[in-house]
Amino acid sequence: MTTRTTTATTAGRPASTVTVSDDQIVIRIARPTPAAAGEGSAATSGVVRDNRADRLAFAARVDSFAGVVMWHRYAEIYSLLQEQCAVAEADPASDVFGRVYDPLCKIAASYAAAAGVRQCTAERFVERAVACAERIPAVGGLLRDGLIPDAWFARAVEQTSLVDDLALLALIDAEIAYRLQHLGGLSAARVEAVVAAVVAEHDPDAVTLTREQIRDYKKVMVNPLTEGMSELVITASAEDVRLAKETLDAVIAGVCPKDPRTKQVRRSDAAMARLNGTAFTCQCGSDDCIAELSQEQIDARCARVVLHVVVREETLDGTADTPAVLDGFGPISAEHVREIADRPDTVARDLDLGDLLDHQAQPGNQYRPTATLDTVLRALFGICTWPGCTEPAFATDLDHVCEYNHDDPAAGGPTCLCNLNPKCRFHHGLKTCAEGWIDDQIVDANGVIWTEVTTPEGFTVRQQALNTWLLPEVGLIPCQHAPVGAGVVGAPRPESRHAENGPRRAQSRTEAKHAYRMARRAANRRIREEEEARALAEEGVPPF
């Protein structure tokens, strides 16, 4: 009997196990209990913090082992399919309707009856089982190990479905699995972006076929809804849809603050107005309306709409087929980006990474990054660096991870690629104003840039810059500043005095908060380095 055990850990401590044998799957989930009341002293604060992190991990990730169950479900339906195929191959004449009711159709029909689903749903399930066993088994292994849920695996199956060279597919499968294992902080958007980038890099024809199908699929559909409403669905290329959405946002930006409609309603009204050739107006009903919705004002805002595509020079000139990144969409194939470059409304601007060797902050304002650094950071991270957020990078703020000290820049975080990353306005404000959130940014020995976010409960998510594959040399550019936080220590505690000479605050509230965050980042790094050294020691690898 074969037995396989998978163990999940939280903050270095075993949390749950899944033991799989020939005849059973045993799942043991360690459920953390709240810390005892009154455990708030300095001696127990670390224990309480770890307990809160365990409870948050339990709430957020306890279903990660559903993947191993799904993997075994796929394995069982695949084995039934193989048995059905063997029967059909042994006696081809036994079923005169074999072309209509082939083995996959029959097994899917049995599964549909047992699961209470439609035939088409059952057939998709069986097809994913085949993909898990034959086409992308390495990615299927991530499902088995609880790294990705079934919904993300199903999307990977769809994205690789047009790769017909099995040898090339094996390479793609292995590279996708490797990247996802080392990416950290996985989410649906990040997984989909990785799969798209690998497929576009190794098999542009698969992406091209998909684009040709979509081009033929362009259409306009009207779906009747209820209460006198209908839905208009327009299918177009990714860049045109993105431009249309940004144009609508530029139009509705002119309404006055008193307009009662939600943003989505305003977008709908603006789209209908432009399609029907009518005027889009503010609905505040005020005599002193300050809306800016004249045609000249709308045209001026729409003229500022820019859609960013980041591509390597060798891809544009045709000497390489490295995929590009379309802001707000993700990786696109080399052929696709060359088509975009040939559009009459496209403006190409060179990005020289060598500029970062000279300076990365504007000479006249050390708080502001140069245009080169600004573009590189947005291209490298692709989206907001907060775990789970998908806001496009070019629509976000660039945030100093270690806060910039306007009064004494040398004592704060530098304006540098190792200390800046994109955050959407909400998460930028959350990090700045809400208590307890700590973020950090690390460049490892291989030049890979990582970000970390630690919740107030002490749960840390670490993830790699999403588009490292596009700009792998960025993390190797040396920084010319002192280490972040070097030499910064808390102010000495003032000596005791009489009541009439009571202690005065040695730091402002903001300075104290920034000093606390710097100390927490340093502590988190020490913990991470200790865990990595311990893991290497267990593997017998010297911690060089």
The two structure tokens encoding residue 74: 């796929």
Residues 435, 320, single domain; the answer is no
Residues 335, 229, single domain; the answer is no
Residues 434, 515, single domain; the answer is yes
Collapse the DSSP code of 451 into the 3-class scheme (helix H, G, I; strand E, B; otherwise coil) and give the result.
strand
| Residue 275 structural domain | 224-302
Of 281, 308, 284, 303, nearest to 292 by C-alpha is 281
Domain boundary among 302, 329, 364: 302
Assigned domain for 24 exists: no
- Amino acid 291 reads A
Residues 318, 295, single domain; the answer is no
Residues 288, 424, single domain; the answer is no
Assigned domain for 140 exists: no
Residues 487, 521, single domain; the answer is yes
Residues 524, 445, single domain; the answer is yes
Residues 468, 539, single domain; the answer is yes
Assigned domain for 121 exists: no
Residue 450 CA, distance from chain mean position? 13
Domain boundary among 286, 317, 341: 341
Q: What is the C-alpha separation between 364 and 362, in angstroms, rounded? A: 6
Residues 470, 358, single domain; the answer is yes
Residues 390, 478, single domain; the answer is yes
Assigned domain for 230 exists: yes
Residues 367, 325, single domain; the answer is no
Assigned domain for 108 exists: no
Given the DSSP bridges, would you call strands 361-362 and 330-332 parallel, antiparallel or unpaired?
unpaired
Helices (H) and strands (E) in the chain, counts: 18, 15
CB of 200 closer than 8 Å to CB of 331: yes
The reported pTM is: 0.80
Collapse the DSSP code of 350 into the 3-class scheme (helix H, G, I; strand E, B; otherwise coil) and give the result.
coil
Assigned domain for 542 exists: yes
CB of 158 closer than 8 Å to CB of 194: no
Assigned domain for 271 exists: yes
pLDDT per residue of the chain (544 residues) written in tens, 0 to 9: 456 666 544 444 445 677 877 788 888 877 787 765 454 444 455 666 678 888 888 888 888 788 888 999 999 999 999 998 888 887 766 555 556 678 899 999 999 999 999 998 999 999 999 999 999 999 999 999 889 999 999 999 999 998 989 999 999 999 999 999 999 999 999 999 999 999 999 988 887 666 666 667 788 999 898 878 999 999 888 899 999 999 999 999 999 999 999 999 999 999 999 999 999 999 998 989 999 999 999 999 999 999 999 999 999 999 999 999 999 999 999 999 999 999 999 999 999 999 999 889 998 888 999 999 999 999 999 999 999 999 999 999 999 999 888 887 777 789 999 999 999 999 999 998 888 899 999 998 889 999 999 999 888 999 999 999 999 999 999 887 766 555 444 333 333 334 444 445 555 666 676 777 777 777 777 777 777 777 666 665 444 3
Residues 361, 272, single domain; the answer is no
Collapse the DSSP code of 186 into the 3-class scheme (helix H, G, I; strand E, B; otherwise coil) and give the result.
coil
Assigned domain for 46 exists: no
Domain count, the chain: 3
Predicted pLDDT at 269: 95
